[in-house]
């Protein structure tokens, strides 16, 4: 009876073990450990499993599977991968017996798929983790190689497994006991191959390199053509298509930036299947059309027609050829409207009427004006009032047809081929073909014409874009360039940093590259642009310092730093609650201005001045030439002379840029004039510091005025005269040898290298050598495009309040007689606008006025 009961109990236990009933944990430690993992008790499960794998259960795949999950939970993916691989190979051994496979599935609800997925997910997690901890990994040429090798290694182990080899060596699959296991093995290898393919695809896609794209396409296209099986590999075909589309897109973006006819045609030839080819052809044709129109010659028109026989611009070309020698000019009618007439015959050229019109821009002008009148070669800028009386500006072809349907409230040209445009208080950019690079939907836009990059503001955030209008970064930054950017207008040109750009994100500053990638973490309260490889930053604890391109600190910390343009900084240390000032020399000092340099340029300068441009050597180049122990320091920034004046109880001592005293006698009442010149006032007389003899000037005046970096004007008894900064009088002579002196006023002119002089209430013009260009006869003098021609206002002899305007050359001959109430010279090269009949009429350089006579 007892024996019978023992048999029943034994059968019950065996059934429990087989069916994974509730009593199983009492008899199977691996099952208990597995259940602990399912309940997220990884620590206790680990203790059980380590005991089991040291005994008879070391061959059980579930032990290694669960151990891998434990290490994955601890984010130790390297170890987890080792155990998951071992689990998979153990599984293959167990799967040779169908009963073992059934038991594993019933007891743990696990199949081969679970083991494969575990490995795949762990490799991907390891990849993601490393990418986050080392973001620069994305930019490395061998990125993903490590992960590809993991998959490849595992695939080789599976293929070399004895079970799989037996399967391959068997003439008929039926001879293998467990066909299902072999099929799963094949599927596992295919899955691992897919992972390898995916990593390779992602690596190629992230390279942003046309040659890498081409290599990938050539490799797989040849294989697909040769290997019929590859044609059915869906993921490879999809990868191929994505890379091909990316290649086309990237190549087209590059030719857009170059924007040349030949590069567009070369793109079409190289990528005949690209969806952008029609657009490229239209752009090439448009450039050829503009060039032919600009040349305005029959031979150029014939070349265009031969190259583009079915051109969209064929009608305009035929029109231009027919009227090749006609120069249309805006003509003011009695109705105070503008029409275009033949400049030679005054016959009407087109029937269209405008509220204002500019002459045609027949060529690419070296000189252009900000109003955009010369932007589109061969076209004219015109304006009509809309129904509400607002100005609508647009461009027309030579036959009077609009270039496109776009109109703007305002156009501001900023380079030979680009202009800012405004529509309804929003701004955009157009090019010399009249095409919109950026639509008018931004509040602010700034552009660097040398880098061909810009920044924009949508009212909330900032972003970056390139010359084609493509966004380089999302519009996501709350500030850009520097915390105190002196941006006061909505559109303008500016010099952007050549390497890294400061941006603000989540109330902290960091730096991004010109391609929009994060370069230095957002860790700073304030950050300023890089100059000569270093940037000024303020840390979150209120300390100021300089960092290099890698974000490494390369200077001491200070309580405040004022960056000076001359290659030096004014630094502050707070001592016992008081500010103490010093001067810090930056790398290269005053040897070069603090230019915005690239890596290559910096290393070239470094070799010239024997500086190894690395963090440690840069740190050594930061030198306190004046320690921060002084009550005040003022400084000059002059083309010929830089110095620092240190306040002492008896006055100021002057130091040179090496920190040596060059004026030992204290100077009281010292100030700096326009940050260019040290001056002092004694008994109502002003003197300046003469850097030639390191003394205050012997000359003294009631007032002084800086004309340039080396010229000073001085006032004595109501009369002004001019001197070199070394106190030598500059002799003013006209072409007859007459000496001029004792002027009523001397001021800088609008053009560098000249200054204005006044005698008897009228003005003359001199160059910096003291030669009189125009005698003192005019109430106003303005420069024109021609350096020898000047627009002048002539006072009437009867009354100084009445005057007339004309154009005179340096010989004193009037090109345009002084008979007009005014002349505007900044509107179009070769023409001037003059007030006429309550409007403005155009006047050419021969004095021809294009307007109907006033009644």
Residue 441: the pLDDT is 96
Contact (Cβ atoms closer than 8 angstroms) between residue 307 and residue 292 = no
Joined together, the tokens standing for residue 341 give 């007439």
Residue 302: the pLDDT is 86
Q: Taking CA 768 as the corner, what is the angle to CA 762 and CA 770, rounded to the nearest 5 degrees?
A: 65
Which tops the pLDDT comparison, 131 or 365?
A: 365
Give the model confidence (pLDDT) of 677-690 as tens digits.
Answer: 899 998 889 999 98
Which tops the pLDDT comparison, 317 or 28?
A: 317
User: What pLDDT band is residue 79 in, cutting at 50, 70 and 90?
Assistant: confident
Closest C-alpha among 746, 700, 753 to residue 689: 700
Contact (Cβ atoms closer than 8 angstroms) between residue 483 and residue 507 = no
Question: How far from chain centre, in Å, is Cα 145?
Answer: 31
Q: How many angstroms separate the CA atoms of 240 and 233, rounded?
A: 11
Q: Which residues of 724-737 are buried (b: 16+ CB within 10 A; e: fewer)?
A: ebebeebebebeee
Which tops the pLDDT comparison, 445 or 95?
A: 445
User: What pLDDT band is residue 650 in, cutting at 50, 70 and 90?
Assistant: very high
Joined together, the tokens standing for residue 705 give 């005025």
Q: Which residues contact 488 (CB under 8 A, 6 or more apart)?
A: none
Q: How many angstroms separate the CA atoms of 638 and 132, rounded?
A: 48
Q: Taking CA 528 as the corner, what is the angle to CA 522 and CA 533, rounded to the nearest 5 degrees?
A: 95
Res 390 pLDDT > 50: yes
Residue 217: the pLDDT is 79
Q: Which residues contact 479 (CB under 8 A, 6 or more apart)?
A: 462, 485, 503, 504, 509
Which tops the pLDDT comparison, 785 or 722?
A: 722
- Identity of the highest mean pLDDT range in 19-23, 464-468, 600-604: 464-468
Q: How many angstroms separate the CA atoms of 601 and 499, rounded?
A: 11
340 HSE (CA, 13 A, CB side): 22
Distance between the two ends of the chain, CA-based, in angstroms? 140
Q: How many angstroms separate the CA atoms of 606 and 621, rounded?
A: 11
Give the model confidence (pLDDT) of 342-375 as tens digits.
Answer: 888 888 888 899 999 999 987 655 678 889 999 9
Q: What share of the chain is helix, strand, coil (3-state, %, to 5)?
A: 35, 35, 35
Residue 385: the pLDDT is 94
Contact (Cβ atoms closer than 8 angstroms) between residue 491 and residue 475 = no
Give the model confidence (pLDDT) of 400-432 as tens digits.
Answer: 999 999 999 999 999 989 999 999 999 999 999
Which residues face 720 on adjacent strands?
A: 715, 743
Mean pLDDT, residues 180-188: 52
Question: How far from chain centre, in Å, is Cα 766?
Answer: 42
User: DSSP of 332-355, one letter per residue?
Assistant: E-TTS-EEEEETTT--B-----BS
Helices (H), 467-523: none
Question: How far from chain centre, in Å, is Cα 156?
Answer: 47
Closest C-alpha among 631, 707, 700 to residue 673: 707
Residue 664, judged by CB atoms within 10 A of its CB (0-12, 13-18, 19+), counts as exposed
Reported in sequence order, the residue ranges of 810-853 that DSSP labels E, i.e. its strands, are: 814-820, 824-828, 831-836, 839-844, 849-850
pTM of the model: 0.69
Give the model confidence (pLDDT) of 222-259 as tens digits.
Answer: 665 555 555 556 677 788 788 889 999 999 999 998 88
Mean pLDDT, residues 144-156: 56
Residue 333: the pLDDT is 94
Joined together, the tokens standing for residue 130 give 């490393």
Q: How many angstroms separate the CA atoms of 546 and 554, rounded?
A: 6
User: What pLDDT band is residue 387 in, cutting at 50, 70 and 90?
Assistant: confident
Contact (Cβ atoms closer than 8 angstroms) between residue 417 and residue 375 = yes
Joined together, the tokens standing for residue 144 give 């993903």
Give the model confidence (pLDDT) of 464-481 as tens digits.
Answer: 999 999 999 999 999 999
Q: How many angstroms separate the CA atoms of 445 and 453, rounded?
A: 11
Q: Which residues contact 1 (CB under 8 A, 6 or more apart)?
A: none
Q: How many angstroms separate the CA atoms of 158 and 95, rounded?
A: 14
User: DSSP of 566-610, one letter per residue?
Assistant: TSEEEEEEEETTEEEEEEEEPTTTTSS------HHHHHHHHHHTT
Residue 173: the pLDDT is 41
Closest C-alpha among 349, 353, 303, 351 to residue 327: 349
129 HSE (CA, 13 A, CB side): 13
Residue 172: the pLDDT is 42
Give the model confidence (pLDDT) of 692-712 as tens digits.
Answer: 888 899 999 999 999 988 899
Residue 294, judged by CB atoms within 10 A of its CB (0-12, 13-18, 19+), counts as middle
User: What pLDDT band is residue 518 in, cutting at 50, 70 and 90?
Assistant: very high
Helices (H), 134-276: 145-159, 162-169, 179-207, 210-226, 234-258, 261-270
Residue 175: the pLDDT is 40
Q: How many angstroms separate the CA atoms of 764 and 757, rounded?
A: 5
Give the model confidence (pLDDT) of 742-773 as tens digits.
Answer: 999 999 998 989 999 999 999 999 999 999 99
Joined together, the tokens standing for residue 80 give 């987890």
Return the HEC string of 688-736.
EEECCCCEECCCCECEEEEEECCEEEEEECCEEEEEECCCCECCEECCC
Contact (Cβ atoms closer than 8 angstroms) between residue 580 and residue 628 = yes
Q: How many angstroms separate the CA atoms of 818 and 795, rounded?
A: 10
Residue 590: the pLDDT is 76
Residue 355: the pLDDT is 96
- Percentage of the chain surpassing pLDDT 70? 81
User: DSSP of 365-378, one letter per residue?
Assistant: -SS--TTSTTSSTT
Closest C-alpha among 399, 380, 392, 384 to residue 353: 384
Joined together, the tokens standing for residue 355 give 């509220």
Q: Which residues contact 426 (CB under 8 A, 6 or more apart)?
A: 440, 441, 442, 443
Coil, strand or helix: which one is 310? coil
Residue 421: the pLDDT is 97
Q: Which residues of 1-20 are buried (b: 16+ CB within 10 A; e: fewer)?
A: eeeeeeeeeeeeeeebbeeb
- Roughly what angle, to the nearest 10 degrees, separates helices 29-38 and 61-73? 30
Contact (Cβ atoms closer than 8 angstroms) between residue 184 and residue 88 = no
Residue 136 DSSP symbol: G
User: Sign (positive/negative) of CA torsion 614, 620, 625, 630?
Assistant: positive
Mean pLDDT, residues 472-498: 88
Joined together, the tokens standing for residue 494 give 């500016």
Output phi, psi for 745, to 5 deg.
-160, 150
Q: How many angstroms separate the CA atoms of 423 and 418, rounded?
A: 16
- In the chain, what is the greatest distance between 2 CA atoms, to the nearest angstrom? 148
Mean pLDDT, residues 452-465: 95
Res 293 pLDDT > 70: yes
The four Cα atoms 668, 674, 676, 679 give a dihedral, to 10 degrees, of: -20
């Amino acid at each position: 009876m007892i024996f019978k009961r023992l048999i029943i109990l034994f059968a019950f236990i065996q059934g429990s073990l087989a069916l994974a009933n509730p009593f199983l944990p009492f008899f199977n430690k691996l099952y208990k450990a597995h259940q602990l993992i399912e309940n997220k008790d990884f620590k206790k499960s680990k203790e059980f499993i380590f005991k089991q794998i040291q005994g008879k259960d070391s061959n059980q795949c579930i032990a290694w599977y669960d151990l891998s999950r434990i290490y994955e939970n601890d984010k130790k993916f390297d170890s987890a991968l080792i155990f998951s691989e071992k689990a998979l190979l153990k599984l293959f051994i167990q799967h040779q017996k169908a009963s073992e496979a059934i038991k594993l599935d019933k007891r743990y609800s696990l199949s081969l798929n679970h083991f494969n997925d575990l490995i795949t997910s762990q490799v991907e997690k390891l990849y993601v983790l490393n990418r986050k901890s080392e973001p620069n990994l994305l930019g490395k040429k061998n990125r993903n190689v490590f992960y590809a090798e993991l998959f490849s290694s595992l695939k080789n182990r599976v293929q070399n497994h004895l079970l799989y080899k037996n399967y391959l060596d068997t003439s008929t699959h039926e001879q293998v006991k467990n066909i299902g296991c072999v099929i799963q093995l094949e599927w596992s290898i295919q899955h691992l191959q897919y992972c390898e393919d995916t990593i390779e695809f992602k690596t190629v896609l992230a390279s942003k390199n046309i040659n890498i794209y081409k290599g990938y396409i050539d490799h797989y296209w040849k294989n697909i053509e040769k290997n019929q099986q590859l044609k059915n590999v869906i993921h490879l075909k999809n990868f191929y298509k994505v890379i091909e589309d990316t290649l086309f897109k990237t190549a087209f973006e590059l030719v857009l930036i170059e924007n040349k006819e030949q590069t567009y045609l070369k793109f079409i030839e190289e990528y005949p299947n690209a969806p952008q080819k029609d657009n490229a052809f239209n752009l090439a044709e448009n450039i050829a059309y503009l060039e032919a129109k600009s040349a305005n010659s029959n031979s150029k028109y014939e070349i265009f027609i031969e190259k583009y026989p079915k051109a969209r611009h064929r009608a305009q070309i035929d029109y231009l050829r027919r009227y090749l020698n006609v120069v249309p000019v805006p003509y003011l009618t009695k109705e105070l409207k503008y029409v275009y007439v033949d400049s030679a015959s005054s016959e009407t050229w087109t029937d269209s009427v405008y509220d204002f019109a500019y002459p045609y821009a027949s060529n690419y002008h070296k000189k252009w004006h900000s109003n955009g009148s010369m932007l589109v070669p061969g076209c004219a800028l015109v304006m009509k009032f809309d129904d509400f009386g607002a100005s609508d500006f647009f461009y027309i072809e030579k036959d009077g047809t609009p270039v496109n349907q776009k109109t703007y409230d305002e156009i501001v040209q900023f380079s030979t081929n680009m202009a800012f445009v405004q529509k309804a208080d929003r701004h955009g950019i157009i090019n010399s073909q009249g095409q919109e690079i950026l639509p008018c939907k931004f509040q602010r836009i700034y552009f660097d014409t040398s880098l061909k990059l810009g920044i924009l503001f949508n009212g909330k955030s900032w972003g970056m874009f390139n010359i084609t209008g493509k966004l380089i970064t999302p519009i996501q930054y709350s500030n850009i360039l520097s915390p105190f950017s002196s941006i006061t207008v909505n559109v303008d040109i500016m010099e952007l940093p050549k390497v890294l750009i400061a941006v603000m994100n989540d109330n902290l500053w960091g730096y991004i590259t010109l391609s929009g990638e994060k370069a230095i973490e957002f860790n700073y309260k304030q950050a300023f642009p890089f100059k000569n490889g270093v940037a000024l930053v303020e840390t979150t604890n209120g300390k100021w310092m300089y960092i290099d391109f890698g974000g490494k600190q390369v200077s001491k910390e200070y309580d405040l730093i004022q960056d000076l343009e001359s290659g030096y900084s004014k630094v502050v240390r707070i001592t016992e609650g008081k500010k103490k000032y010093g001067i810090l020399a930056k790398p290269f000092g005053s040897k070069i201005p603090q230019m915005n340099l690239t890596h290559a340029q910096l290393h070239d300068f470094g070799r010239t001045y024997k500086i190894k441009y690395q963090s440690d050597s840069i740190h050594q180049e930061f030198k306190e030439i004046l320690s921060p122990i002084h009550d005040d320091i003022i400084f000059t920034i002059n083309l010929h002379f830089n110095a620092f004046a240190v306040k002492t109880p008896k006055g100021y001592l002057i130091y040179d840029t090496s920190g040596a005293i060059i004026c030992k006698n204290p100077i009281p009442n010292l100030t700096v004039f326009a940050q260019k010149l040290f001056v002092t006032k004694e008994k109502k007389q002003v003197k300046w510091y003469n850097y030639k003899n390191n003394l205050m000037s012997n000359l003294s005046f009631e007032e002084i005025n800086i004309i340039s970096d080396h010229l000073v004007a001085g006032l004595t008894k109501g009369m002004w005269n001019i001197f070199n900064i070394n106190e030598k009088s500059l002799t003013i002579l006209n072409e007859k040898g007459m000496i001029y002196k004792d002027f009523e006023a001397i001021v800088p002119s609008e053009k560098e290298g000249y200054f204005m002089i006044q005698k008897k209430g009228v003005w003359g013009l001199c160059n910096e050598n003291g030669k009189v260009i125009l005698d003192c006869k005019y109430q106003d003098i303005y420069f024109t495009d021609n350096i020898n021609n000047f627009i002048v206002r002539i006072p009437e002899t009867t009354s100084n309040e009445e005057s007339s305007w004309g154009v005179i050359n340096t010989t004193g001959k009037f090109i345009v007689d002084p008979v007009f109430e005014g002349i505007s010279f900044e509107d179009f090269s070769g023409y001037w606008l003059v007030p006429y009949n309550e409007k403005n009429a155009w006047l050419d350089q021969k004095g021809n006025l294009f307007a109907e006579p006033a009644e």
